[in-house]
Amino acid sequence: MRILVLHGPNLNLLGTREPGTYGAETLAAIQGSLRELAGELGVEVEFFQSNSEGALVDAVQAAYGRFDGIVANPAAYTHTSIALRDALLAVAVPFVEVHLSNVHAREPFRHRSLLADAALGTVAGFGADSYRLGLRGLVAALALERG
Ligand code: DQA
Q: State how many domains the chain has.
A: 1
Contact status, residue 65 vs residue 86, Cβ threshold 8 Å:
no
Told to judge if 22 belongs to the known catalytic residues of this protein, a careful annotator would answer: yes
Read off the pLDDT of each residue in 60-73 and give the average, rounded to a whole number.
98
| CATH (domain of 49) | 3.40.50.9100
**Cβ atoms within 10 Å, residue 125:** 15
Read off the pLDDT of each residue in 7-28 and give the average, rounded to a whole number.
96
Q: Rounded to an integer, what distance in angstroms lies between the CA atom of residue 40 and that of residue 20?
A: 30
Name residues contacting ligand 1 (CB within 6 A).
10, 73, 75-76, 78, 99-101, 103, 110
Of 7, 77, 99, 131, which one is the catalytic site residue? 99
Q: How far is the CA of 75 from the centre of ligand 1 (A)?
A: 4
Q: Which of 56, 107, 110 to mutate to test the pocket of ligand 1 (most atoms within 8 A of CB)?
A: 110
Domain that holds residue 102: 2-146
Q: How far is the CA of 26 from the centre of ligand 1 (A)?
A: 15
pLDDT given for residue 26 in this prediction: 97
Told to judge if 104 belongs to the known catalytic residues of this protein, a careful annotator would answer: no
Angle between helices 53-63 and 82-91 (to 10 degrees): 10
Q: Tens of pLDDT along 18-42?
A: 999 999 999 999 999 999 999 999 9
DSSP element (H, E) containing 71 = strand 69-73
